[in-house]
Amino acid sequence: MTKIKTIGMLTSGGDAPGMNAALRAVTRAAIYNGFKVKGIYRGYRGLVENEIADFQAQDVSNIIHRGGTILRTARCNEFKTVEGRKKAFENMKKHDIDALVVIGGDGTLTGAREFAREFDVPIVGIPGTIDNDLYGTDHTIGYDTALNTIMWCVDRIRDTANSHERLFFIEVMGRNAGFLALNGAIAGGAEAAIIPEISIEQDQLAELIEHGFRTTKKSSIVLVAESPITGGAMGLAERVRNEYPQYDVRVTILGHLQRGGSPTAQDRILASRMGAAAIDALVEGQRNVMIGDDDEKMVYVPFSKAIKNEKTIDPQLLQTVHELSI
Query: Which amino acid appears at position 113 of this protein?
Result: R
Known active-site residue 120? no
Strand order in the sheet with 220-225: 192-194, 220-225, 167-172, 249-253
Cα–Cα distance for residue pair 24/17, rounded to 1 Å: 13
Compute the half-sphere exposure of residue 2: CA atoms within 13 Å on the CB side of its CA. 0
Contact present, 22 and 141 (Cβ < 8 Å): yes
Catalytic residue, chosen from 15, 98, 131, 133, is 131
Residue 91 makes CB contacts below 8 A (sequence gap 6+) with 47, 48, 50, 52
Contact 137, 301 (CB under 8 A): yes
Of 141, 119, 121, nearest to 130 by C-alpha is 141
**Is residue 128 a contact partner of residue 103, using CB atoms and an 8 Å limit?**
yes
Distance CA 303, CA 323 (A): 38
CA distances from 217 to 27, 210, 241 (A): 52, 10, 19
Please, are residues 62 and 256 in contact by the beta-carbon 8 Å criterion? no
Q: In whole angstroms, give the CA distance from residue 166 to residue 174.
A: 25
80 vs 321: CA distance, rounded Å = 41
62 C-beta neighbours (distance < 10 Å), count: 9
The residues with which 165 forms a beta bridge, in sequence order, are: none
The DSSP-derived string for 106-158 is HHHHHHHHHHHHHH---EEEEEB-TT---TT-S--BTHHHHHHHHHHHHHHHH
List active site positions.
Answer: 131
